[in-house]
Amino acid sequence: MSDDTARKDTPEQAEFRTYCREWLQANKPGEPPVRLPQSPLEIMTTEQLGYLQAWQKSAYDAGLVGCDYPVEVGGGGRKDCQKIANEEMLAARTPFLPNVIGLGMAAPTVFYHAREEVKAELLPRLFSGEDIWCQGFSEPGAGSDLASVQTFAERRGDTWVVNGHKVWTSLAHFAEWMIILLRTDKSHKYDGLSYFVVPIRAALGKGVTVRPLIKITGETGFNEVIFDNLEVDDRYRLDELGKGWQVAMTTLLHERGAGELQTPRAGGMKNKSSHTISSSAVIELAKNTRRGEGTAADDPILRDKMMQQLIREEGLKQNQRRSRVQALLDHPMRLLLQNKLLASEIAQSLGSLALEVEGMSSSLYLADPNAPARGQWPMAYMNSYGMTIAAGTSEVQRNILGERVLGLPKSK
């Protein structure tokens, strides 16, 4: 972390930064026993999950996860310190935190909208990674048009009976809990939605069926989840009946990086079984890829594309810095919402550039010993399309920016 950043720390943040740095130096995990996926959303095996859960649990026990949440719900009771822990975990090149949906979407939604006893029940095990979470939003007939979800919850006293079908549900094959948007009134599109948390692991075969979906990469991070008379206690409803759309906006704002609470983040570990997706890795790839009498790095067209990639990444980095300075914000949401759009498209262009550097060798996959970078770049490119779809497609993001930030008329 730069001296400039450290100088801007409050005394509490500076003390916490020193603590994080020293703890990470002494407790950084060793070489994983299995090949790790490129992101938490591609975790496929219990061995991968077990290693990553142990890492998240140790970071949580040390106070590096959930720092800014109140102690009463399992947090650290600090103020504006999660970003310090994030910066130090990323600088230390740790493994990523596996409970990405729980930390980034479920935790803030539960915190802002659940009953106090439910927060105290669910959040500690979410922060520790002992309970994995998934998100039940998309359906076969409701993707970008999220308000059209039809999975229905019928009230029977203090219990709700859920029937329907969710799809593209990342990590559902390991999840204990799901945040879910349900229809509770068929006569209103938006006001007929309510928001719940539901226990899916405990109900497997008793109202819940999880079916893995094989992606183009060959991985199984996605799933479809079918509900057949699943009974859910009313205490697991978040906020008032019919307020599901408003609660979902809390989830989506945090998923897009525009929420009030910082999501715990770690990653960047370099080892034999993982692969770092970065511009520096593409530059290194180009230097080691033969092209004619030289290397791909000698190709002026590729060099220009690499520079354009670096310029875009630097622009995003500076936008993220600016978004943390209130006096520099012309609109409170513009940069925050813009960052999700740009970050996902920049990741996609990076994967595309890597395949261009590899040339015909980009057709070689993981199992081929001749594949450059162990076949990781074709996988990164294919996975990048999920990033431009998740949390709302790039087209949806541009509509949001146009309507809510620029004040343009709604599209029809």
Active site residues: 255
* Strand, coil or helix: 371: coil
Q: Which two tokens stand for residue 129?
A: 């990674």
In 3-state terms the chain splits into helix, strand, coil percentages (rounded to 5) of 45, 15, 40
Distance of CA 253 to the CA centre of its chain: 12
- Tell me how far apart the alpha carbons of residues 79 and 50 are, in angstroms, rounded to a whole number: 30
Return the amino acid letter for 256: R
Closest CA to 97 of 83, 86, 106: 86
Dihedral pair phi/psi, residue 47, rounded to 5°: -70, -45
Contact between residue 125 and residue 56 where contact means Cβ atoms under 8 Å apart: no
**Which residues are CB-neighbours of 328 under 8 A, at least 6 positions away?**
322
For 167, other C-beta atoms within 10 Å of its C-beta total 20
3-class SS of residue 292: coil
Cβ atoms of 127 and 121 within 8 Å: the answer is: no
User: What are residue 210's DSSP bridge partners?
Assistant: 225
Please choose, from the candidates 315, 305, 316, the residue with its C-alpha nearest in 3D space to the C-alpha of residue 353.
305
- Largest separation between any pair of C-alpha atoms in the chain: 76
How many residues in total does the chain contain?
412
**354: number of Cβ within 10 Å:** 25
